[in-house]
Amino acid sequence: MNEPSLKLVACPCCRAPLYSLVWDRFSSKWQVSNDSPPLGSDAEGSFMECRRCVRRVAIIEAPEHAEEPFFVAVRQNCRRCGAEGVTP
């Protein structure tokens, strides 16, 4: 049986694909694909900006032993845009 090699993670605000992960068989971990938005950081922590709804999606960075590099946080403020409060 073949294991999946691509995982799509949806934006909790608009349900569009937020980022994707690809399976790295050498490290046995999921890696962020090149077409995913960059991981940003501000005073509230890590986040990604959804390319569809332009919302700031809070991200929790996973511990080193986890298979995935990070996860979408359970609590989200879907009224907040990604660029709010970010200093260029």
pLDDT tens per residue, range 48-66: 999 999 999 999 999 988 9
Is 59 domain-assigned? yes
**Using an 8 Å Cβ cutoff, are 50 and 10 in contact?**
no
Number of residues that make up the chain = 88
Is 85 domain-assigned? no
Is 55 domain-assigned? yes
Is 57 domain-assigned? yes
**What domain count does the chain have?**
1
Is 52 domain-assigned? yes
> In this predicted model, what pLDDT tens digit does every residue of 24-36 receive, in sequence order?
989 889 999 999 9
Is 62 domain-assigned? yes
Domain range holding 33?
Answer: 6-72
CA of 65: how far to CAs of 10, 14, 34, 61, in Å? 23, 30, 22, 12
User: What is the reported pTM?
Assistant: 0.82
The pairing of strands 17-24 and 29-32 is antiparallel
Is 80 domain-assigned? no
Is 82 domain-assigned? no
